[in-house]
Chains A and B, each alone.
Chain A
């Protein structure tokens, strides 16, 4: 191994996630869903993955979280090749899906206990983690109620609690604030900011540009499976003429026509 390669390997290992030239072509589709996507996420940062409908965000999240295999390209999480070593990578990551991925007939605590055991947690450590997670999302008092009795905002917070239970080093958040009241949304954003301070890296997708502007230290805007802008949101806004917000930048990059 040359010195340069070793240096590159160390750099990759320092990054929370590195995706290089990732291509995904679905069977039967004429155009690729992802076409040479490059992403680099630093440790402890919230990275915004933005794009209109059909841009390839869900495919990118699915590949980066080991759910789908890329057609081509290379992805590492803290230096671990996720295609070759998915099980090792899974120990470091966690996903908060857009759907309320909880068993409605179980209580919040029972849901978390099940997920915790799947991460290999047990005994007092498991109970402590459940307590911490519920406490972080403000559901400590409601942990023994069944999820189907929760309001929309409570369900979203419980969904987040399941994501942070394992103390992941990289957390994927797929539109975690969609369809909830302002108070719950505000609370989730505050909790995510606190989580960032603990060193957890996050990849965050949202259609709310003000959220991304507020939370994310880096963003990538993708369209038609390709990265069309990447960097610090403020720098990108400043660099683009006529843009005073991330919303303006987003429209400038992807247009205002409706995507279905």
Chain B
């Protein structure tokens, strides 16, 4: 026990005095969490995650413009701007504002569209009620509604806005068609009755044909209820903080492979390992001491990142990190992730011949595993092939488990498969390190 304690103490002392190592372990993930969370919080604004200001140019100044404006307001997350610097916006200035990137999109209601829609509706309804022997007029042209988009607006948000406008136009068309229909139907019925019965029919009877109400055209029959797929009721909506804090904390944890592998290689190159192995202490004790020291450092590192998510980021205007309701699951996944990272560090330090090899390969492999694991871009947003490859990244296992706990409100049962994968990774890397060391011990190569 004394030997293990001595090794842990020595490793912690060495880490405390390694300024570059501390920068990599603490400052780098902290800066990444802060910067990426804040940047993505802003990106969300451009893709609809928060309120967006849009320009609205109504050249028609009639009921269709008002209806569309009302529909866009119902959208909830849009702030409609009709004036800039106290001046009414025209199409030209609106386009310039979009090109300059000041706004994400602009809706132009062309002049005379309300009248054109009404005429077109009358024409369509009339045509549907008329018999073939009455000559048809030419179709009336209805000008198109124009929407200018900033090219940076993501496809999903663009589709949502266009769909919403389509809905507004469609509801207005239905309403207009219904209005014309209710206006023409009694006249048409009157005409048919008079043609069938002749002049003997009472005029009172014809006048008593019931008028249609317009309410039916705008009344919804089916509703759509949006629900987030949480396992239990949970108030937290996934935000950039919920994604980035566990993601970059994991990245920081896995970056310990660089100082860890480096310390193993330096011990080997400086003859330290040679000296240690001639002492009455087992290699397992030396490695365990190293692993425990790095586990402690990673725990401190994780707490440090959590404090950023809980206190610093909300102070800078983002939402606060929510950690679900299963602290045991958090601890178990955290320990499993740390062990997986330390196992990888030991394997790298055992196999790599030089510090340069280990630091280069270690850093690059962690960045690749992080990219595949959804640290930078969520896995569901990746192409299918990449999603399949992602299943092999330990960072993906860790991040998925953290999101299960933080966002989907999972518990220890939910994250058990990921925990098993991470621990298997640890055991696998340790076995590879052991067999490599054993081979060296036996053969001297």
A residues neighboring B (CB under 8 Å)? 24, 26-28, 33, 59, 62, 65-69, 87, 90-91, 93-95, 97-103, 105-106, 110, 113-115, 117-120, 122, 162, 166, 172
Interchain nearest-CB distance for A29 vs B (Å): 9
B290–chain A nearest beta-carbon distance, Å: 13
Using a CB–CB cutoff of 8 Å, the interface residues on chain B facing chain A are 2-3, 5-7, 9-10, 13-14, 17-18, 269-272, 274-281, 441-445
For A113, the chain B residues whose CB sits under 8 A away are: 6
Contacts of A102 in B (CB 8 A): 270, 272
Smallest CB–CB gap between B273 and chain A, Å? Answer: 8
A175–B226 Cα distance when bound, in Å, is 77
> Is B278 in contact with A90, judged by CB distance below 8 angstroms?
yes
CA A119 – CA B2 in complex, angstroms? 10
- Of the candidates A68, A105, A172, which one forms a contact with B17 in the assembled complex, judged by CB atoms under 8 Å apart? A105
Task: Tell me if A115 and B443 are in contact (CB < 8 A).
Answer: no
The smallest beta-carbon distance between B276 and chain A, in angstroms, is 7
Q: Are B445 and A105 neighbours in the complex by a CB distance under 8 Å?
A: no
Closest approach, in angstroms, between the C-beta of B75 and any C-beta of chain A? 60
> Contacts A114-B10, A118-B6 hold; do A68 and B441 have CB atoms under 8 A apart?
yes
In the assembled complex, which residues on chain A have CB atoms less than 8 Å from the CB atom of B269? 99
What residues of A have a CB within 8 angstroms of the CB of B444 in the complex?
24, 26-27, 33, 59, 62, 68
- A98 surroundings in chain B (CB, below 8 A): 271
Taking CB atoms, residues of chain B closer than 8 Å to A106 are 10, 13-14, 17
Contacting residue for B274 out of A26, A27, A95, A103, CB 8 A: A95
Contacts of B17 in A (CB 8 A): 105-106
- Tell me how far the C-beta of B196 lies from the nearest C-beta in chain A, rounded to whole angstroms: 107
Measured CA separation A59–B443 after assembly (Å)? 11
- Contact: B276 with A118, CB < 8 Å? yes
What separation, in Å, do the CA atoms of A29 and B274 have in the docked complex? 23
- A118-B13 in contact (CB<8A): no
Report yes or no: A97 in contact with B279, Cβ–Cβ below 8 A: no
- Which residue of the partner chain, among A65, A90, A110, contacts B280 with CB atoms under 8 Å? A90
- Taking the closest CB of chain B, its distance from the CB of A126, in whole angstroms, is 10
B329 CB to nearest A CB, Å: 37
Q: A118 to B14, Cβ gap below 8 A?
A: no
Among A68, A94, A97, A122, the residue within 8 A (CB) of B271 is A97
24 A-B pairs in the complex with CB atoms less than 8 angstroms apart: A26-B443, A26-B444, A26-B445, A59-B444, A66-B277, A67-B278, A69-B442, A87-B280, A90-B279, A93-B278, A95-B275, A97-B271, A98-B271, A99-B271, A99-B272, A101-B272, A105-B14, A114-B6, A114-B9, A115-B279, A118-B3, A118-B276, A119-B279, A166-B279
A117 pairs with B443, CB closer than 8 A: no
| A105: B residues at CB distance < 8 A | 14, 17-18
Q: Least Cβ distance of B93 to chain A in Å?
A: 64
- Given A115-B279, A119-B280, answer yes or no on A110-B3 (Cβ-Cβ < 8 Å): no
Q: Which of the listed residues B2, B18, B276, B279 has the most CB atoms from chain A within 10 Å of its own CB?
A: B279
Chain B residues whose C-beta falls within 8 Å of the C-beta of A93 in the assembled complex: 278
Name B440's closest neighbour in chain A (CB-CB). A68
**Distance A183 CA – B3 CA, assembled complex (angstroms):** 36
Which of chain B's residues have a CB closer than 8 A to the CB of A67?
274, 277-278
A99 to B268, CA, bound (A): 10
Judging by beta carbons under 8 Å apart, are A103 and B272 in contact?
Answer: yes
CB closest chain-B residue, reference A104: B270
Contacts of B275 in A (CB 8 A): 95, 97, 101, 115, 162
Q: Which residue of chain B has its CB nearest to the CB of A64? A: B278
**Could you tell me the distance between the alpha carbons of A243 and B17 in the complex, rounded to whole angstroms?**
54
Not counting A103-B272, A122-B2, a sample of 7 additional A-B residue pairs whose C-beta atoms are within 8 angstroms of each other reads: A27-B445, A62-B274, A66-B277, A99-B271, A101-B272, A105-B18, A117-B2
Which of B274, B281, B445 is the one whose CB lies under 8 Å from A101?
A: B274
B310 to chain A, nearest CB (A): 33
A91 and B280 form a contact (CB under 8 A): yes
A69 CA to B441 CA, complexed, in Å: 7
How many Å from the CB of B250 to the closest CB on chain A?
28
Q: Lowest 3 CB-CB distances: which A-B pairs, in order?
A: A99-B271, A117-B6, A97-B271
Q: Which residues of A are found within 8 Å of B276, using beta-carbon distances?
A: 118
Closest chain B residue, CB of each to CB of A113? B6
**Nearest chain A CB to B41's CB is how many angstroms away?**
40
Tell me if B10 and A103 are in contact (CB < 8 A): yes
Tell me the bound Cα distance from A190 to B2 in angstroms. Answer: 34
Q: Which residues of B contact A66 (CB under 8 A)?
A: 277-278
Nearest B residue to A66 via CB reads B278
CA distance A65 to B278 in the complex (A): 6
Residues of B with C-beta under 8 A to A100: 270-271
- By a CB distance below 8 angstroms, the chain B residues around A26 are 443-445
B271 touches A117 (CB 8 A): no
What's the Cα separation between A120 and B6 when bound, in Å?
10
Query: Which residues from A are CB-within-8-Å of B7?
Result: 114, 118
Complex CA–CA separation, A90 to B444 (angstroms): 19
Q: Evaluate whether A117 and B3 lie within 8 angstroms (CB atoms) in the complex, with A62-B444, A65-B278, A87-B280 already known.
A: yes
B271 and A101 contacting across the interface, CB-CB below 8 Å: yes
Nearest-CB distance from A184 to chain B (Å)? 18
Q: How far is the CA of A87 from the CA of B443 in the complex (A)?
A: 20
A118 touches B272 (CB 8 A): no
Min distance, Cβ A10 to any Cβ of chain B, angstroms: 25
Cβ A118 vs Cβ B280 within 8 A = yes
Shortest CB distance B2–A (Å): 6
In angstroms, Cα B13 to Cα A113, docked, is 12
Q: With a CB–CB cut-off of 8 A, which chain B residues contact A94?
A: 278-279
